[in-house]
Structure 1
Amino acid sequence: MHLPHPRIAPLSDAELSPEQREALAPASYPGTPPLNIFRTLAHAPDALKAFLAWGTYILRNNSLTPRQREIVILRTGYLCRSGYEWTQHVRISLRGGMSEDEIAAIKAGANAPLWQPADAALLAACDELHANQFVSTETWAKLKAHFTDKQCMDAVFTAGQYTQVSMMLNTFGVQLDEGQKLDPDLDKRKAPSP
């Protein structure tokens, strides 16, 4: 997390226009207020609608297993230093059965000793996409040893989506939702200079 305060504040229920309320509806669940990311993106309701549609594909309909998807999301969020994204997806990953050791190893990357070759290939691909916006021939061959063409595409789609999400979260200054704690490794907040 880079900023101590939002640059674009999340909209409260009272501030929502009818169009913003409609765009936010798919991200609202009974008994749970919409997350700050969605309340922030509601400033651009058409963008929020498109974002939610693509996000639904990435989170629910892509061909990676939930664990594989979360490896890609967490590594991408970590590389982008997105404290908000990391915090949200650590919770999702733990609920999905990933261990604390696996989550810690995501920070270390593909060379951490606990990874199986398929996991290491996903992590290496994330690193290359982050650094070069390209997966090398060597790493692509490692992916192809474990994944179909569609799964390889979905890994790239997922890393790309969460790079964009991280850029938005970091730049807009989206703050953690109530009750969440920021990983100190991702706390880049500094008080503004006088």
Structure 2
Amino acid sequence: MRLSAPRITPVDLDDLTEDQREALAPFMKSGWVINIFKTLARAPRALKRFNVWAGYVMSDRNALTPRDRELVILRTGYLCRSGYEWSQHVTIGLRAGLTEDEVERIKVGPEAAAWSARDVALLQATDELVRDHFISNGSWAALDFLNEKQRMDMVFTAAQYTQVSMMLNSFGVQLDKGQTLDPDLDWRD
């Protein structure tokens, strides 16, 4: 987390424009709208389009297994130093089959002990995407357990969460009620 206060104030759910209400409608049904969406609702037309792409990445249309997807998302969020993203996706990752030990090892990356060859390949490719915006030939070849669509979805997932991390960090989106900031991601000014 980079900022102690938001640069873009989340909308007040009791004072929404029609465009904001429409953009937030999918989340309002659940009765709980998290800060990322309340913040992005300041640009409601962008939020509506964002929801379509993010919905794809987080759905079963993404050919990665939920565990593989969350491994990529958490590593991306950690490398981008996005405390908010990390906090949200630790819970999702645990539900997707990651262990608490694995979540901690994600911080170390592909060099951490005890990863499977599959996990090392996914983490290495994620590191290269975030750091260099490109997967090297060697790392691409190491993803041979993924089919073409899965490789594309792996890149889409890292790209989506790099973008999300940029927004969260730059807009100063604060943790939601009940969340705890991982001390390793406390970069607040």
TM-score range, shorter chain: over 0.9
Tell whether 2:15 aligns with 1:15.
yes
Q: How does 1:1-40 map to 2 (within 5 A)?
A: 1-30=1-30, 32-40=31-39
Tell whether 2:56 aligns with 1:57.
yes
Number of the residue aligned with 1:126: 126
How far off is 1:94 after superposition?
1.4
How far off is 1:81 after superposition?
0.1
**2 CA distance for matches of 1:95 and 1:29?**
22
**2 CA distance for matches of 1:188 and 1:108?**
17
Number of the residue aligned with 2:66: 66
**2 CA distance for matches of 1:110 and 1:27?**
35
Q: How does 1:103-182 map to 2 (within 5 A)?
A: 103-144=103-144, 146-182=145-181
Structure 2 gaps, min length 5: none
**2 CA distance for matches of 1:52 and 1:126?**
23
Contact preservation (8 Å) 2:2, 2:186 = yes
Contact preservation (8 Å) 2:70, 2:96 = no
**2 CA distance for matches of 1:93 and 1:29?**
23
Instruction: For residues 12-66 of structure 1, give each alpha carbon's deviation from its aligned partner in whole angstroms, at most 9, with x where no partner exists.
Output: 1122101100101112343x32000000000111110111000111000200000
Give the secondary-structure state (helix, strand or coil) at the position aligned to 1:14. Answer: coil
How far off is 1:97 after superposition?
2.4
Give the secondary-structure state (helix, strand or coil) at the position aligned to 1:107. Answer: helix
Moved over 2 A (4+): 27-30
Structure 1 gaps, min length 5: none
**2 CA distance for matches of 1:97 and 1:62?**
17
Percent sequence identity over aligned pairs: 59
Instruction: For residues 139-162 of structure 1, give each alpha carbon's deviation from its aligned partner in whole angstroms, at most 9, with x where no partner exists.
Output: 000012x10011011000000000
TM-score, structure 2 as length reference = 0.97
